[in-house]
Chain A
Amino acid sequence: MELILEGIVEAFRLLFGGDADVYQIMLRSLWVSGLALLVASLIGLPLGVTLGLSEFRGRHLTVATVNAGMGVPPVVVGLLVSLLLSRNGMFGFLRLLYTNWAMVVAQVLIALPLVTGLSLAAVQQLDPGFRLQIVALGAGRLQAFWLLLKEIWVTLLAAVMAAFGGIISEVGAVMMVGGNIRGQTQVLTTGVVEETRAGRFPTAIALSIILLLLVFAASLAMTIVQQRGRRHA
């Protein structure tokens, strides 16, 4: 118990004392997960909405694939990316393995099915009559798409935030493709693992607190936006 209390006190000293290592790890985490989330959202949101609105041969298989993708364990994604980026892999020539870019790629692959699947579900919750009404108002294809997006933006935001929560706290894939190299590819989750293994509990607790605060801040932001969205519905 004493160890934990001492660890927490030391953690706050590291946090508020401006420890360079801790801040560097935090910023790297935010950069990797933020960029991965941006890419996954730019692809996944339009893809999910389009899938939700379209009827085509093979749609059920595509939707099933997306849904299955939401449940793929991150370590499997890590393994796949490692194989693809390894020296003898298909993209080995890019020399990305054990870099921040490799972690971005892995997190994009983890976040993409989440964003796509959840935005697809958001569109499917819309009454089909709503779309018909928008088309009947004279909207073209793109105008209808935009108006529908505005109707479900709160749910889409929830999809994005859920994906953020998933990748910021993910450890297996980033460990495999980033290598957890101190000062280069170490992020919050892999940092906690290493500091714990080495018995440096205060740093591990400090990194954990930051991780928890980030996840909490993301949830809080989403809740605030959702409540505002509900008031303005």
Chain B
Amino acid sequence: MPDGPIISARDLSVTLGGCTLVHAEAFDVLPGRTHVVMGPNGAGKSTLLRAVGGLIKATGTLELAGKPVCSGRDRAVLRRATASVFQKPYLLSTTVLGNVEIGLRLHGIGARERGRRARAALELLGIEHLADRRRDGLSGGEAQRVSIARALAVEPQVLFLDEPMASLDPPTRRSLMTDLFDVFSQRSVSAVWVTHDREEAAAVADHVTFLTDGRVRQQGTASEVFGRPQSEEVAGFLGMETSFEGVIEAQDGAVCLVLVDGTTLVVGEAEPGPALAFVFPEDVVLLRHLPESGETSLRNCLEGRVAGVRSSGRLRLVDIVRGDLRIVAMVTQAALDDLQLGVGDAVVAGFKASAVHVLPRHHGHAS
């Protein structure tokens, strides 16, 4: 497998009526890696995917295996070298096997080889028993599996997936995610995966491009983007609902963030100066009372009051206020019951120094 990018885009822009829908200075698809494009709805993720996949015209430089993609003919070559799966499965009015064969047929593969590869793809997705079924008899999850099998059957150099899980129910999504993870590992699939779901992104991403309003806000490895968001926008999207503004200072051998109200938080490594800091709700622990010194490894414990409790699936998000500060903790309903917490109750929000993600003010556009 070559080391260089299979698809490489530079200064790629899609415009419509003089308006730039999306712009990416650099976008690479590396062999055997999954590049997740994430961001809120309307960020331009699907447009970027379609431009990179040669499905729509774009300005800038686009290369497939080092060869420039310029003309309509080049884009056709790019399309035949790749395959796409969309949010809807878009199955043709034929059998499941016929659907999986269609891409191979369009690639000019002979009947015998077509049948063999189509059945192998169905087996890979665990749906060989559906081969003779027609599209109307399939569930949403089965139809999406057929769509993925159809894409994989042509053995694409890059697989594009545009919100492939968005219309599936949670159990179906989990099952398909698990199977896809195995397929991707077995076959070293190179993929571009568009999603607005951060859990989905975190599960599959090797590289991440974060978009809002058609612009790339952050790009990097999954651990870089998820661990060190470079703007409030990215941090907010990743679910870091708790943010602090202050100044990083060294105090008693520790790196601290001194907040406007004088509260001091111990943080991990950070450069001195004005900074924003974010904490994931799941990193915040709730206590009824301030722990005694040495009783806990939590370096930061802030007293406040419960302002509200929200549902987040099976978990609960607890809003805690302390003056102008707002801290959000994610806990189970059982934990909430154990603590006997209700709105207005006093509570202590604790989190480790390593849970505080610091963003120097000069890096982002924090306001």
Contact = CB atoms under 8 A, between A and B. Distances in A.
Nearest to B102: A137
Contact of B93 (A127, A136, A151): A151
Contact of B55 (A136, A147, A150, A151): A136
B107 A138 contact: yes
A147 B76 CA distance: 17
Nearest to B103: A137
Contact of A133 (B90, B135, B154): B90
Interface string A166-208: 0000000000000000000000000000000000000000000
B146 to A, nearest CB: 12
Contact of A136 (B79, B87, B136): B79
Interface string B62-96: 00000000000000100110111011101011000
* Interface secondary structure of A, over-half rule: helix
B334 interface: no
A150 B106 contact: no
Contacts of A136: 53, 55, 79, 82-84, 86, 160
Contact of A233 (B55, B88, B90, B136): B136
A31 interface: no
- What interface size band does chain A fall in? 10 to 19
B340 to A, nearest CB: 51
B150 interface: yes
A232 B103 CA distance: 20
Given A137-B83, A138-B80, A151-B93, A127 B134 contact: no
B84 A133 contact: yes
B68 to A, nearest CB: 20
A76 B222 CA distance: 69
A233 B107 CA distance: 24
Given A232-B93, A233-B136, A129 B79 contact: no
A227 to B, nearest CB: 13
Contacts of B106: 137-139, 143
A8 B305 CA distance: 92
- What interface size band does chain B fall in? 20 to 34
Contacts of A147: 92, 102
Contacts of B154: 137-138
Interface string A211-233: 00000000000000000010011
A103 to B, nearest CB: 37
Residue among B79, B83, B107 having the largest count of chain A Cβ atoms under 10 Å: B79
Interface string A127-163: 1011011111111100100010011000000000000
A21 to B, nearest CB: 46
Contacts of A233: 93, 134-136
A133 B150 CA distance: 11
A127 B107 contact: no
Contacts of A229: 93
A133 B83 contact: no
A229 B93 CA distance: 9
B103 A132 contact: no
B79 A138 contact: yes
Contacts of A143: 106
Contacts of A140: 76
Contacts of A151: 92-93
A116 to B, nearest CB: 23
A138 B155 CA distance: 13
Interface string B47-58: 000100101000
Contacts of A137: 83-84, 102-103, 106, 150, 154
B88 A150 contact: no
B79 A135 contact: yes
Contacts of B53: 136
Contact of A129 (B86, B102, B107, B135): B86
Residue among B53, B79, B93 having the largest count of chain A Cβ atoms under 10 Å: B93
Nearest to B135: A233
A87 to B, nearest CB: 52
A136 B102 CA distance: 12
Contacts of B103: 137-138
Interface in B211-261: none
A138 B107 CA distance: 7
Nearest to B87: A129
Contacts of A150: 92-93
A165 B103 CA distance: 39
Given A138-B80, A139-B106, 4 more contacts: A133-B84, A138-B103, A140-B76, A233-B134
29 contacts: A127-B88, A129-B88, A132-B50, A132-B84, A133-B84, A133-B90, A135-B79, A136-B53, A136-B55, A136-B82, A136-B83, A136-B160, A137-B102, A137-B103, A137-B106, A137-B154, A138-B76, A138-B79, A138-B103, A138-B106, A138-B107, A139-B106, A140-B76, A143-B106, A150-B92, A150-B93, A151-B92, A232-B134, A233-B135
Interface of B: 50, 53, 55, 76, 79-80, 82-84, 86-88, 90, 92-93, 102-103, 106-107, 134-136, 150, 154, 160
Interface of A: 127, 129-130, 132-140, 143, 147, 150-151, 229, 232-233
Across the A-B interface, the 4 shortest Cβ-Cβ residue pairs: A136-B84, A133-B90, A138-B80, A138-B106
